[in-house]
């Protein structure tokens, strides 16, 4: 049986981890924001702009301009699809700062239970009202929590908290599956994934 290209050394691909800065967009070009590709060296920019389709460097999913943290870029379309497809149910964990602190333990527990059951997400631009899959919520303080989602719906985390009657004032992605954002990367910096990190997604 033919092996998947992302795990076959005969088909080398590029896999990058970036600490996406606030204000940057996951687009090739923008008139109003810097793009994540502007932080790459010249050789990698060529892979993003000049390489043929199928081996072009692209972002694995998107983070909006107001979200920072772990972003993956790759030339491997199968790798991207595996991570972003809802049926893969890959965990994505975010650090959330809430606009309205929740100090009451009972209200925190109510938030946790509602996230675990799934919420009816309000419409947001192109996204219609829809149900979210179960999410795991943990409070670190009244205004700081982490949330783990698996779907990647449009503005999903922000819409979850709107459904709970709150707002997100800051959002930072910490991890994708078992891959943690490298703490040595300052915003805008990136590095290649290790072979072990790439293969961890095979599971």
Q: How many residues does the chain have?
A: 203
| Displacement of CA 202 from its chain's centroid (Å) | 18
Q: Which residues pair with 146 in a beta bridge?
A: 95, 138
Q: Specify whether 124 is catalytic.
A: no
pTM of the shown model? 0.91
Q: What one-character-per-residue DSSP string does 119-166 give? A: -EEPPBTTBPSEEPPP-EEEEEETTEEEEEESS--TTHHHHHHHHTT-
Instruction: Look at residue 32 in the predicted model and tell me its pLDDT.
Output: 86
Token pair belonging to 139: 């409070």
Considering the candidates 10, 31, 42, 64, report the single residue annotated as catalytic. Answer: 64
User: How many CA within 13 A on the CB side of residue 111?
Assistant: 27
SS3 198: helix
Q: Which of 7-21, 61-75, 88-102, 173-187 has the lowest mean pLDDT?
A: 7-21
Q: 26-53, pLDDT tens digit by residue?
A: 988 888 899 999 999 999 999 898 888 8
Instruction: Look at residue 37 in the predicted model and tell me its pLDDT.
Output: 96
pLDDT bracket for residue 201 (50, 70, 90): confident
Share of the chain above pLDDT 90, in %: 80
CA distance 79 to 58: 11
CA distance 29 to 40: 14
CB-based contact 166:158 (threshold 8 Å): no
Cα-based torsion angle of the residue sequence 52, 56, 61, 64 in order, rounded to the nearest 10 degrees? -100
Q: 67-114, pLDDT tens digit by residue?
A: 999 999 999 999 999 999 989 999 999 999 999 999 999 999 999 999
Instruction: Look at residue 125 in the predicted model and tell me its pLDDT.
Output: 84
CA distance 147 to 135: 7
Instruction: Look at residue 53 in the predicted model and tell me its pLDDT.
Output: 82
Handedness of CA 93, 15, 66, 181 (dihedral sign): positive
Whole-number mean pLDDT of the chain?
Answer: 91
Q: 106-165, pLDDT tens digit by residue?
A: 999 999 999 999 999 999 988 899 999 999 999 999 999 999 999 988 899 999 999 999
* 106 CB neighbour count, 10 Å cutoff: 7
């Amino acid at each position: 049986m033919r092996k998947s290209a992302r795990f076959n050394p005969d088909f080398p691909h590029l896999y990058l981890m970036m600490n996406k800065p606030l204000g940057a967009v996951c687009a090739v070009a923008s008139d109003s924001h810097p793009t994540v590709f502007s932080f790459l060296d010249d050789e990698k920019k060529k892979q993003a702009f000049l390489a043929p389709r199928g081996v072009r460097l692209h972002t694995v999913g998107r983070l909006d301009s107001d979200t920072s943290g772990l972003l993956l870029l790759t030339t491997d379309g199968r790798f991207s699809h595996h991570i972003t497809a809802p049926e893969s149910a890959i965990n994505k964990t975010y650090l959330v700062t809430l606009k309205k602190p929740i100090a009451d333990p009972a209200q925190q527990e109510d938030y946790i239970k509602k996230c675990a059951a799934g919420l009816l997400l309000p419409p947001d631009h192109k996204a219609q009202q829809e149900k979210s899959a179960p999410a795991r919520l943990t409070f670190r303080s009244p205004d700081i929590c982490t949330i783990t989602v698996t779907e990647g719906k449009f503005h999903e985390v922000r819409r979850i908290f709107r459904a709970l009657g709150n707002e997100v004032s800051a959002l930072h992605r910490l991890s994708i599956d078992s891959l943690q954002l490298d703490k040595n990367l300052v915003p805008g910096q990136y590095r290649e994934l290790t072979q072990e990190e790439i293969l961890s997604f095979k599971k």
